[in-house]
Amino acid sequence: MATRVWDYLPEYEKEREDILAAVETVFESGRLVLGDSVRGFEESFAAYHGSPHCVTVDNGTNAVKLALQALGVGRGDEVITVSNTAAPTVVAIDAIGAVPKFVDVREEDYLMDTRQVADAITPRTKALLPVHLYGQCADMAPLTELAREHGLAVLEDCAQAHGARHHGRMAGTIGDAGAFSFYPTKVLGAYGDGGAVLTGDQEVAERLRRLRYYGMAERYYVVEAPGHNARLDEVQAEILRRKLGRLDDYIARRRAVADRYTEGLAGLTGPGGLVLPEVNDGNEHVYYLYVVRHPKRDEIIEQLKAYDIWLNISYPWPVHTMTGFAHLGYRPGSLPVTERLAGRIFSLPMYPSLPPDRQDKVIAALHEVIGRL
């Protein structure tokens, strides 16, 4: 039986009745768009975070896009972010005509090197967009400090960090807004696409509600442009509302999987060996991904296929080196840490219902493969 990085079917087997009941609830409600399930999920998601406002949208990319727009970022404005992220972070910035400005990441934790941010600020900078990659938060204190000094907005990309904490505060509640994705693989995943924005600012929340609804303040009358149709589907909202009650349990089980890897793979670490994830001081990691690195990454991935283990790389190409972003003008070599890491990282299977015996096979196979290199 093939072992893959992610599989939702074991979870679906456990939750089947609840998920199917969600579909029925919506279909019988008499309201298929922006109804009780969207409203109910928004209230619960905000309450879970202790955040004043949650506005759902149709996916995480639009969560970033509309949040930037609601925070006043537009054409020609610069947004400081990282290239070591899922491409949609940058796609969203680019899509509203804003200009992504990249800083490098730290070797230890793959997160924004906040020491580089001050030098990247120009008179055109409007926002800072840290990404809480793989499930732990970027260093927020230096960013909120710089933002205050220079009058910038801070948007957290929380697509991989549902339920993560940073010095006791929840991801998505530290900056001016937090953008979430509920793509099926995420820590809180829908059975399709979904997204949301948290914010403490009522005006930003109201702007988001208009932006996701063609720019209309009330029916048929547009007050804000460019608007979008970016509503979260009622069925996905109802599924998410039900799954939210189990989020802490998903996270606990992800942490158990991570602990088992960390223990089982400790013998492979050391100079020139496998590098395991590091959790920063003050961070509570939710392990969206369990990312390790090794100089002979490609050989390891290739050889594991003989064990029917199929690993993934998140992400194989730094965003600034992609041809679709050639117009940003970055050259290979401009972000050395990001580029070096991209050649070494790989992700081990990680999902809440990954059976321990499956996991042990991955651990044993890694010992064999790396032992032979």
Ligand X SMILES: *Cc1c(COP(=O)(O)O)cnc(C)c1O
Contact positions toward ligand X, by CB under 6 A? 59-61, 85-86, 88-89, 131, 157, 159-160, 181, 183, 193, 195
Helix (H) or strand (E) holding 169: strand 169-170
Q: Are 38 and 183 in contact (CB under 8 A)?
A: no
Q: How far is the CB of 179 from ligand X (least distance, A)?
A: 7
Q: How far is the CB of 159 from ligand X (least distance, A)?
A: 3
Q: Residue 160 or 236: which CB sits closer to ligand X?
A: 160
Q: Residue 57 or 304: which CB sits closer to ligand X?
A: 57
**Cα-flanking dihedrals φ and ψ of residue 240, to 5°?**
-65, -40
Q: Residue 186 or 241: which CB sits closer to ligand X?
A: 186
Helix ranges restricted to H, 151-295? 202-211, 234-244, 247-265
Q: Residue 51 or 314: which CB sits closer to ligand X?
A: 314
14's CB contacts (< 8 A; 6+ apart) are 353
d(CA 143, CA 80): 11
Q: How far is the CB of 48 from ligand X (least distance, A)?
A: 19
- Tally of CB atoms within 10 A around 248: 12
Closest by CA position to 178, among listed 131, 210, 134, 241: 131
Q: How far is the CB of 52 from ligand X (least distance, A)?
A: 23
Q: Locate tokens 């392990």: which residue?
A: 287
Q: Residue 64 or 268: which CB sits closer to ligand X?
A: 64
Q: Residue 196 or 205: which CB sits closer to ligand X?
A: 196
Q: How far is the CB of 62 from ligand X (least distance, A)?
A: 7
Q: How far is the CB of 271 from ligand X (least distance, A)?
A: 31
Q: Which two tokens stand for residue 238?
A: 């109802």
